[in-house]
Amino acid sequence: MTPLRRKMIEDLQIRHFATSTQKNYLYLVTQFAQHFGRSPDQLGPEEVRAFLVHLVNEAKVSRGRLCHYVSALRFLYKITLQKPWDIERIPYPRSEKRLPVIPSREEILRFLGCIRNLKHRAVLMTCYGAGLRVSEAVHLKVTDLDSARMVLHVRQGKRRKDRMVPLSKTLLQLLRVYWKAVRPRDWLFPGVYDHALSVRAVQHACKRACRRSGLRRRITVHTLRHSFATHLMEAGTNLRTVQLLLGHASLRTTAVYTHVSTRDLLSVKSPLDPTDSPN
C-alpha cells in the first residue's frame, strides 16, 4: 500500500465515512490514477478536467456516477493532499430535476404479495412500512424493535445519525410471524456467517418480485422509501414530520415529495372542464 493511499484511508476514517464510501472513493481515485499512469499527487487541475471530459464523452458515465468521481477527487485534493488551488475547479455536473415515479399503495401491496421468501418479504416490507434505506433495514437488530412503544430504532443511518420511526401494526404482525420461523438472535435479518443480510440479496429479491408482479412500473428497493414518503404526504402528514421520519438533513431534500404527491394536485380543476356554477 502506498503512503498516499494509506493517508487517504486514514483521512476517511477520521471523518467517519461509511465503509462503503471509503471503498468507493479509493476505487474512483485509483481509476483516475490508472487513466494517466501516474500517482494523483503528480497530477493537477488540467488532468482532473481532462479526466472528467473523458468520463462524460467517452466512458459515458451517468450523472450520479460523475458526482461520485467529483466527490472523491475533491476529497483527495482538498483533504488528503491539501492542495492550495480552488477546489471549485473540480465542478459538480448540473443537477437533473427528475421526479421519482411513485406506484400506488395498491401496486406496492401487490408487489409485496409476490415475494415468496419470508425473510425477503419482511425486509422489503420494512423498507416501505418504515421508510428505511435498504442499508438501514439490513442492519436492524432484534433489539431495535420496541413493540411496547411501537417504534423502530434506526441506528447510525446516513451521516451517522440515529432516529426513531413508527412501527406499523401490520409490519409488526409480519415480523412476529417471521421471528417465530427464523428465530434471529442478533441481526433482525441475518445473512451468512453471522453477518447481516447483504444489500445485494435484497436488491435481487426486489427484482424477482417486480417481475412476478407484472407491474408496468419498475420498483426498486429505494422506490419503497419514496413511496412511503409520498403516500404519507398524500394522507396529510406535514413535510417536517416526513423529513424527520426519513432522516433528511435538509427540508429541501424532502420537499421533492410535495411535487410527487397528487393530493393537492387532484383538487385543482382544469379550466377546460365545465364549472359547477350556472354561469
Residues 170-179 pLDDT 10s? 999 999 999 9
Per-residue pLDDT at 270: 60
Residues in the chain: 279
Residues near 207 by beta carbon (within 8 Å), at least 6 away in sequence: none
Whether 248 is catalytic: yes
Q: What is the DSSP letter of 79?
A: I
Q: What is the pTM of this model?
A: 0.69
Where are the chain's structural domains?
A: 3-89, 105-260
* Architecture, CATH, for domain 3-89: Orthogonal Bundle (1.10)
Do the beta carbons of residue 151 and residue 126 sit within 8 Å? no
For 239-260, give one letter per residue: b (16+ CB within 10 A) or e.
Answer: beebbebbbbeeeeebebbeeb
pLDDT the model gives residue 264: 60
Which residue in 158, 163, 208, 217 is the catalytic one? Answer: 158
Has 133 been annotated as catalytic?
yes
Dihedral (Cα; 84, 90, 92, 93), 10-degree rounding = 160
Active site residue 217: no
Residue of 119, 225, 226, 231 marked active site: 225
Cβ neighbors of 80 (< 8 A, separation 6 or more) are: 4, 7, 8, 11
What is the distance between the alpha carbons of residues 75 and 12, in angstroms, rounded to a whole number? Answer: 9
**Does CATH number 3.40.50.720 belong to domain 105-260?**
no
Residue 227: exposure state from Cβ atoms within 10 A (0-12, 13-18, ≥19):
buried
Measured distance CA(136)–CA(47) in Å, rounded: 37
Q: What is the pLDDT of residues 218-255, one digit of tens each?
A: 899 999 999 998 888 888 888 888 888 888 877 777 77
Q: Note if 222 is an active site residue.
A: yes
The pLDDT of residue 279 is above 60: no
- Amino acid identity of residue 90, one-letter, is I
Question: Nearest-5° angle of CA 11, CA 14, CA 15?
Answer: 90
If DSSP codes are grouped into helix, strand and coil, which group holds residue 217?
A: coil
Among the listed residues 69, 128, 178, 257, the single catalytic one is 257
Task: Give the CA diameter of the chain.
Answer: 81
> How confident is the model over 118-156, as pLDDT tens digits?
999 999 999 999 999 999 999 999 999 999 999 999 987
Distances (CA, A) of 49 to 44, 75, 91: 9, 16, 9
> Of the residues 119, 133, 226, 231, which is catalytic?
133
Nearest to 121 by CA among 135, 131, 111, 133: 111
Q: Write out pLDDT tens, residues 71-110.
A: 999 999 999 999 988 878 788 887 666 666 788 999 999 9
Quote the strand ranges of the chain, DSSP E. 145-146, 151-154, 163-166
